[in-house]
Amino acid sequence: MKKFLPDFSFPKGMELLHNPLLNKGTAFTADERKQLQLEGLLPPFVMTQEEQKIKVLASVRVQTTDLDKYIYLTSLQDRNEALFYRLVIDEIEEFMPIIYTPTVGQACQEYGHIFRRPRGLYISSNDKGSIKKILRNWPQKNVDVIVVTDGERILGLGDLGADGMGIPVGKLSLYTICAGIHPERTLPITIDVGTNNEELLQDPLYIGLRQKRDIGDQYDSLLDEFMDATAQIFPNVLVQFEDFANRNAQRLLAKYRNNYCTFNDDIQGTASVVLGGLLSAMCIIKSSLDKQRILFCGAGSAAIGIADILCREMIHCGVDKKIARKNLFLFDSSGLLTVDREDLSEANLKYAQQVDIETNFSAAVKKLKPTIVIGVSGVGGVFEEKMVRNMTQENDRPIIFALSNPTTKSECTAEQAYSWSEGRAIFASGSPFDTVRLKGKTYHPGQGNNAYVFPGVGLGIVASGATRVTDEMFRAAAHALADMMEYKNLEKGTLYPALPEIRNVSKRIALAVALEVYNSDLGSQPRPENLKQHIEEIMYSPHYESYV
C-alpha cells in the first residue's frame, strides 16, 4: 500500500481541508486537529466516516433530478474523495447510473453550464509544442492510468467538444470504484481540437476552443506529440482512448498499440464485455458461438471490435477464420455490408457478405434469420416490434443486445424486448433498465456495461507493469467475466454479475489479465510469488488513514 500514499509534502490547516485526496472533514480526530493546525477550523464533534456517509446519503437523495444528484456527488468528490468513494462503493446500484451512464451523458451536454472546479488536464490545438510542459503541471508525478477523449463522439450524443471531459472523469471514477485504482494515480485528459457542434460554438458558456475541428496532419501531429510526451513524463502509464469518432478510433489504435501501453475502450472493452455476455448466453441456450448467426445494427469501430473478438474466440476453439466470419453480418446506415458495395472501409470489407443488399434492418432480420442481434448504432428504437417478433418466431430464445448509450439511444428497452418476445428474449443493454414484470413473471435485464471489464483490465496491467495491451488480454477478461456467473442467475436470463460484485469481478479479471501479461513476456515487474494477493494488496480502499 505504501506506494499509493500521496507523494507530495503533507499539508496542514486550510490547505489540508482543501485537498480532496487527504481531507477527512469532520472525521479528523482531536489529536490530528492539534498537530495539523485544524483547531477551530472544524465544528467540535468528531464524526466517523459511517456517520458522514449517512449525512451525505440523505443530502444526495433529496436532490430532485439525476443531474442535481450528479452535481452534488461531483462536489463531494471535489472536497473529500475517500467519502465520495465510500458512498458510491457501498451504494453502487443506486449511484453508478448517476456518476456514469446514463446521467453522465446529460452532464456532458450541460458541462459548461454546471462547471464548478477543473478536474484533469485540457490540452488544446494551441498547446502544440508545449504538451510535456503541460503534463508536468499535473501535481501528482506517479500516474498509472490516463483516460483521454477528444470529445467527438460522446456516447451516442455526438460531438460535445471540451464538454466531453465528463467521460474521462467518470471512467476514472469507475477505475477506483470497481477496481481499486488509487484516485491519486489517475489522470483525465481532454484533447480540445475544436468542435463542429454549431450549438456549442454559439454558446457563450462553452468552455472549449471556438473553432471547427482540426483534421488531417494538424490533428495527427498533436496526438503524436501527446502520446510521446505522456510516455516520457509518466513511463509505463496505461492510456485509455475513449469516445473518439469512428474515423479516428480504429486507425489511432492500430498506430499506437505496438509502441505504447494503450487500448481503446469503445473497441476492445465493448468487445470483451459483449463476448463475456454471449458466453453466458451460450450456457443458457446450451450451444456455442460457432453455431450462431449474428447480425449487428451498426458497423462502426465498436461493431468491428466485437466481430473481431468473436472471430478470435471461435478460431481459438478450432473454427476456420472464413467459417467464423461467414455468420457475422454488419448493417450500417446504408444497409447490409455486402461484397457489391463500393463505400466500405478496409475494416468493414472483411465482413462484407455475398448476399443481396438490404437497406431496412427489420427486413434484414427477416431475411437472415439471426439468432443474435447486437445494437451498436446509436439510434434509439431501431429494434422494432416486428423485428423482435420475427426473431422470436425463428428462435426459442432470441438473444438481443441493445448496447447504445445513453438510455434514449438504446435500440429498444428491456420491457419492449421481453413483451414483444413473450418473455423469451435473452436481453442485455448498455445503460441500466429496471426489472420487468410480465404476466406474473419478473425479468432481470443484464447491463453490458464496459465497467465490468476495463477497470479489471487496467488493474491487471498496473499490477504486472504491462508494457503493451493485447487483444488476448480482453479475451481472457471476457472468460473471467463469464466464469463469475452462477447457474441460478443464468436461469433468470441474467448475463452479468450483480453490480455489488463488481470489485470481485475486477479482481478476477485483473488476475486473468496479469497472467496473460506474464505468459506473453510483457510484464516490466517481476511476477509476485502470490499474484492474487499482490493484486488485492494494491487495491485502494476508501477508509480514512490516521495522519498522526
Catalytic residue among 70, 100, 219, 540: 100
Say which residues have a Cβ less than 8 Å from residue 366's Cβ, sequence separation at least 6.
Answer: 387, 390
The Cα–Cα gap between 312 and 275 comes to 10
Longest Cα pair distance anywhere in the chain, in angstroms? 79
Catalytic residue among 171, 219, 256, 260: 171
Closest CA to 151 of 61, 205, 219, 102: 219
- Burial of residue 408 (number of CB atoms within 10 Å: 0-12, 13-18, 19+): middle
Please say if 171 is a catalytic residue.
yes
Closest CA to 41 of 1, 3, 13: 13
* Ramachandran assignment for 500, one of left (phi > 0), alpha (psi -120 to 50 degrees), beta (any other): alpha
Specify whether the CB–CB gap between 331 and 364 falls below 8 A.
Answer: yes
CA 365 to chain centroid, in Å, comes to 29
Specify whether the CB–CB gap between 120 and 169 falls below 8 A.
Answer: yes
Closest CA to 378 of 268, 266, 273: 266
Pairing of strands 436-438, 441-443: antiparallel
Q: Is the dihedral of CA 304, 310, 315, 319 positive or negative?
A: negative
Q: Tell me the catalytic residues.
A: 100, 171
